[in-house]
Chains A and B, each alone.
Chain A
Amino acid sequence: MLVLVLNCGSSSVKFQLIQTSPEAIEAGTEKKLARGNIEKIGMTTAIVSFQAEGKPPVKETPVILEHRVAIERVLTLLTDPQVGILKSRNEIGAVGHRVVHGGEKFSKSQVITEEVYRQIVECCELAPLHNPHNVRGYEIAHELLPDVPHVAVFDTAFHQTMPEYAYIYGLPMVVYRRHGIRRYGFHGTSHRYLTWRMQKLLNKPASEFNLITCHLGNGCSITAVERGKSVDTSMGFTPLEGLIMGTRSGDLDPAVVLHIMAKEELTLHEANTMLNKHSGLIGVSGVSNDMRELVKESQKGNKAARLAIDLFCYRLKKYIAAYYGVLNGADALAFTGGIGENSPLIRSLSCAGLDCIGIQIDPERNEKLNGSEGRISPDDGKVGVYIVPTDEEMMIARDTVHAVAGKL
């Protein structure tokens, strides 16, 4: 079956075409036939990049003012005789949609029925910046491809197995009941992919090991996975909680927010943007939100850049140690995401001084394996430390196949 994976953001559409089937998933022989990206939708010119297997890459800058036009463009590219790979859009067997928030209603991926659609729309209240675009993407794709099943894959679903004591905040319970204020967690599809992949690397089923997964990209989160199930994760009600991120503060004394708002006479909007867009690595360093830049600057002796790196790694280390405790010991620790996969320095700093709980990194492996999959802890290390490049699209395609077959 050919699955089109769609990820619609506020001004972007990312997509992949994946050839897959229950058998291919079993055998690990799924194939990516095409991938692409449309950015800057609604701006003066959009940026389209696309490549199908064995075909020349496409880079163009048309005017795309709307998601509908963008998704139509996706289908046109896929069926283009020169650069595309399909004869007709009818060859697409199903569409998998990334949906950020599934609230408490969805603990696994779902074929989108009218009822499911209604419930996803209800979740817009919890993720007003993301879900509306995901919903819009589905509505358009459903109109353009009305005869195939559409499946929603939620970022929050994997974390629905967290126990109550891990997801309830120490606040009056009435705010949970009235407004759904609780910890939901995000990046679930990535943490789940890592869990699945570690079965191959450790050569045993997920039910037989405990795992800590670190997704370190633009947004960062860490998850404690107990025998295949998420039991705690660092992001909470929104993606702001937990680790230090590129532009987000992560954990904070909530009184600080109230105090700053009073002192600087900030509006809700200004306070929100400060925490989400002006904090984290960029806020502390004043240099960049890009870890590669910070490492370079730090090597040149920039103290603010070094401080940002130290904060980032220290916070991460605290979480790793805490989740080790939550799990009563972990068999493995996996790094993924732009930073997790590509920064030997961050991996080594955040694991430094954790040999007390059996976490060690082999410096040579850490450098040599950078960017690719494999073990970076020494052979006799008690906890296996791994790099596992994530693949959320593959996971969405898999879920789509399974959901359509009714096997989720």
Chain B
Amino acid sequence: MIREVGVVGAGETGRGIVQSAAGAGINVVFCETSEERVAEAIAAITAVLDHEIERWGLTKTEKTVILSRIRGVTSFEDLKSAPMVIEAVHDDWALKSKVFTALDRVLPPEAILVTNTSSLSITQLAAQTHRPDRVVGMHFLLPVPKRPLVEVVRGLHTSDETVRRAKEFAADINKTAIEVFEYPGFVTTRLILPLLNEAMHVVMEGVASAADVDTAMTLGYNFPTGPLELADRIGLDEVLLWMEQLFRELGDLKYRPCPLLRKMVRAGHLGVKTGRGFFAYDERGKKKKES
């Protein structure tokens, strides 16, 4: 089992990885851009753990132990002792490539660099470093502590040993890894997006109401959440961004974004985060009962 892991970026995904690793008994050093952001991240993780205690999923002692394994820093220099560093900054090429170049310069050559991208090319990121064989993708799903899956993504030069280590880390934090080769959307995104898009077509074409589409899939196919509520939770702007990217990369008409989706995004109905998408939501993100 890996003893320590570094995490760059403490947004929702980064914090989720930090919490999952610390919860599994691994010491974590995470890096943010300022002391304030470090403090905010710790406060956010503490709030999630407190919520877990309220749900009887954790005890106060366990919370103390988990927090004691987490250390926030503001310099890449402080990540040097970690044999594996996971980058979880915003999914933006300019930012990620800058982070990768800097990490490559600071970290010892044997350290493994992981990127949490769900859309960018691992191969291209790896090319920014002097260790393309030790660069690998790990695509976590949100909320990270609750989703027991991770896609381990091979770039063109990723070595078997690096893939093995990434899978081992996934197992250490109690996640099942599936191995995928770099390709737009990997498996999870590529399969779920056309489904969400098709559900929107069904609504747009007047075949069924949004509520009935979701009921069909939750009761008919045992989906924990219906496709339209899921789209609301992901954020309709994100869904649109994704569809456009798949459409651009793969050029197949089946990835063409649904016009209704485009219209809703233009109207500012982005889902849970704006309180309104295919359904209405309260401030805590709970779906409002239809009147």
Which residues of A line the B interface, CB within 8 A? 42-44, 65, 247, 264, 266-267, 269-271, 273-274, 277-278
Contact = CB atoms under 8 A, between A and B. Distances in A.
B3 interface: yes
Given A42-B25, A65-B3, A273 B69 contact: no
A247 B65 CA distance: 18
Given A42-B25, A65-B3, A267 B65 contact: no
A236 B65 CA distance: 30
B57 interface: yes
A278 B25 CA distance: 21
Contacts of A267: 57
Interface string B52-73: 0001111100000100110000
Contacts of B69: 43-44
A277 B59 contact: yes
Contacts of B56: 266, 270-271, 273-274, 277-278
26 contacts: A42-B25, A43-B65, A43-B68, A43-B69, A44-B68, A44-B69, A65-B3, A247-B59, A264-B55, A266-B55, A266-B56, A267-B57, A269-B57, A270-B55, A270-B56, A270-B57, A271-B56, A273-B56, A273-B57, A273-B58, A273-B59, A274-B56, A277-B56, A277-B59, A278-B56, A278-B59
Contacts of B59: 247, 273, 277-278
- List of 5 A-B pairs having minimum Cβ-Cβ separation, nearest first: A274-B56, A270-B57, A278-B56, A277-B59, A270-B55
Interface in B26-81: 55-59, 65, 68-69
A266 B56 CA distance: 9
- Chain B, interface size category, equals 10 to 19
A277 B60 CA distance: 10
Contacts of B57: 267, 269-270, 273
Contacts of A277: 56, 59
Interface of B: 3, 25, 55-59, 65, 68-69
Contacts of A65: 3
Contacts of A274: 56
A277 B59 CA distance: 7
A293 to B, nearest CB: 15
Contacts of A270: 55-57
A266 B59 CA distance: 16
Given A43-B68, A273-B58, A274-B56, 19 more contacts: A42-B25, A43-B65, A44-B68, A44-B69, A65-B3, A247-B59, A266-B55, A266-B56, A267-B57, A269-B57, A270-B55, A270-B56, A270-B57, A271-B56, A273-B57, A273-B59, A277-B56, A277-B59, A278-B59
B180 to A, nearest CB: 27
A274 B56 CA distance: 5
A65 B69 CA distance: 12
A316 B169 CA distance: 46
B153 to A, nearest CB: 28
A269 B145 CA distance: 13
A72 to B, nearest CB: 17
A278 B63 CA distance: 14
Contacts of B25: 42
A271 B55 CA distance: 9
Nearest to A264: B55
A227 B245 CA distance: 77
B59 to A, nearest CB: 5
Contacts of A266: 55-56
A134 B159 CA distance: 36
A132 to B, nearest CB: 13
Contacts of B65: 43
Q: Max chain A CB contacts within 10 Å: which of B57, B59, B68? A: B57
Contacts of A273: 56-59
B4 to A, nearest CB: 10
A278 B57 CA distance: 9
A267 B58 CA distance: 12
A91 to B, nearest CB: 34
B1 to A, nearest CB: 9
B72 to A, nearest CB: 15
Nearest to B4: A65
A267 to B, nearest CB: 7
Nearest to B57: A270
A264 B57 CA distance: 12
B119 to A, nearest CB: 30
A294 B25 CA distance: 32
Contacts of A43: 65, 68-69
Nearest to B53: A278
Nearest to A275: B56
Nearest to A271: B56
A262 to B, nearest CB: 14
A131 B208 CA distance: 54
A42 B69 CA distance: 10
A275 to B, nearest CB: 9
A62 B104 CA distance: 33
Nearest to A282: B59
A273 B60 CA distance: 12
A266 B58 CA distance: 13
Nearest to A44: B68
Nearest to B27: A44
Contacts of A271: 56
Contacts of A278: 56, 59
A64 to B, nearest CB: 12
A50 B59 CA distance: 29
Nearest to A65: B3
Nearest to B58: A273
A44 B65 CA distance: 9
A43 B68 CA distance: 8
Contacts of B3: 65
A269 B146 CA distance: 11
Nearest to B25: A42
Nearest to B61: A277
Nearest to B55: A270
A43 B62 CA distance: 12
A247 B57 CA distance: 13
Contacts of B68: 43-44
A39 to B, nearest CB: 12
Nearest to B26: A42
